[in-house]
A and B are shown apart, each in its own frame.
Chain A
Amino acid sequence: GQSLEQPSEVTAVEGAIVQINCTYQTSGFYGLSWYQQHDGGAPTFLSYNGLDGLEETGRFSSFLSRSDSYGYLLLQELQMKDSASYFCAVTLYSTLTFGKGTMLLVSP
């Protein structure tokens, strides 16, 4: 089976940089995805790492190290609207297995 661990909550201030870590145990997977969810609304896709290294999309970056079974999501220039839950997920062939999520609270 698969298991993913991520912190339950992270707090930061506007304009800061925050890193949300994800460690996983899985046998065979395509890559690591990240999703954002505001206030119990529909989760939305943020990024995907199929290879080791850093992927950058605007203010968000995501990193994967398969040898360390570890990844992270980096959010820069934090804004109040970034307050949300963030989920890492291992991508299997047809399905995703999600972590329990990290609630990010951004304060002024």
Chain B
Amino acid sequence: NAGVTQTPKFRVLKTGQSMTLLCAQDMNHEYMYWYRQDPGMGLRLIHYSVGEGTTAKGEVPDGYNVSRLKKQNFLLGLESAAPSQTSVYFCASSYRAGGGNEQFFGPGTRLTVL
């Protein structure tokens, strides 16, 4: 099993450009998450999905959109990138909700917006 994979691993964008980050999991997990991590800020939830075809906003959703057309994939889109979106983006998945819902993380995408 590959677990949670993310593509690309690195990306440099210019302000105003768009891009899509892809997250894939092969564990048949229902729940998927997108986080951003900035120095000294920990992990902050952007959007999440509780199942195929569903999405919900997290703590910092502005400037991002997501889609979950297939259970195994969760896409994060930036329509018009801004320097403030320079960050490391992590995708995660979990089997269930509730207590002890261990999240499995991907290796991250390092995005720089110039």
Q: How far is the CA of A99 from the CA of B56 in the complex (A)?
A: 21
- Identify which of A42, A45, A87 contacts B106 (C-beta below 8 A): A42
Mask, B94-114, CB within 8 Å of A = 1, is 000111111111111000000
Is the beta-carbon distance between A94 and B50 smaller than 8 angstroms?
yes
Q: Whole-angstrom distance between the alpha carbons of A45 and B42 in the complex?
A: 15
Q: Shortest beta-carbon distance, A33 to chain B, in Å? A: 8
Partner of B100, one of A43, A50, A97: A50
When each residue 58-101 of chain A gets 1 if its CB lies under 8 Å from chain B and 0 otherwise, what string results? Answer: 00000000000000000000000000000100010111111111
Instruction: Please classify the interface of chain A as helix (H, G, I), strand (E, B), loop, or mixed, using the class held by over half of its residues.
Output: loop
Contact yes or no, B41 A30, CB < 8 A = no
Tell me which residues from 35 to 57 in chain A have a Cβ below 8 Å from any Cβ of chain B: 40-45, 48, 50
The reply to whether A44 and B99 contact each other, CB–CB distance below 8 Å, is: no
Please give 17 more A-B residue pairs, beta carbons under 8 A apart, in addition to A40-B108, A98-B42. Answer: A40-B37, A40-B88, A42-B4, A42-B90, A42-B108, A43-B43, A45-B104, A48-B99, A48-B100, A91-B98, A91-B100, A94-B50, A94-B97, A95-B58, A96-B101, A97-B59, A101-B42
